Amino acid sequence: MLIKAVNGKSPLIPDDCYVAENATIVGDVTFGDSCSVWFNAVIRGDVNFIKIGNKVNIQDGAIVHCTYQKHPTIIGNNVSIGHNAIVHGCTIHDNVLIGMGAIVMDNCVVESNSIIAAGAVLTQNTVVSSGSIYAGVPAKKVKDIDQSDFAGEIERISNNYVMYSGWFKKEK
């Protein structure tokens, strides 16, 4: 793993977090407890800060960055960021699933208990209301979580990633 200071600011990663051997975490990045950062993920807090809550998983190939002098990236608790997703200069509240390959752009806000579908593109300044599923390019609301088959999926996936990271921590 590459964990590196930038401009005198080093990542803060609690001991109970799992970071894959080829993940990259640089600069002003702070993690909560029970997080996992998977293979080839990049979390780059070089131009602004990144704050990550508890029980967040950042899956393989995902990129988390921020915007110089404008937008930090703030991620709440119990958030899953899917494989190859991009989360950039935005705020993600608690209990959110960002699907595989989704893009969340500058100054977006994803409120709690929401899902951004795989491949969706949330264009700059989009606000996703709590309990919504957004999909498409550009992403639009497609339904409410409670009217979908996805109720409970956010918690299930987050819990699974805590379990998966335990498997990898045992192998050290």
pLDDT value at 147 more than 80:
no
- Strand-by-strand arrangement of the 114-116 sheet: 18-19, 36-37, 57-58, 79-81, 96-98, 114-116, 132-135, 140-144
* 77-135: pLDDT as tens digits: 999 999 999 999 999 999 999 999 999 999 999 999 999 999 999 999 999 999 999 99
Query: pTM for this one?
Result: 0.95
Domain ranges of the chain: 2-170
Q: Give the whole-angstrom CA distance, residue 99 versus residue 15.
A: 27
CATH of 2-170, one of 1.10.10.10, 2.160.10.10, 3.30.750.24, 3.40.50.2300: 2.160.10.10
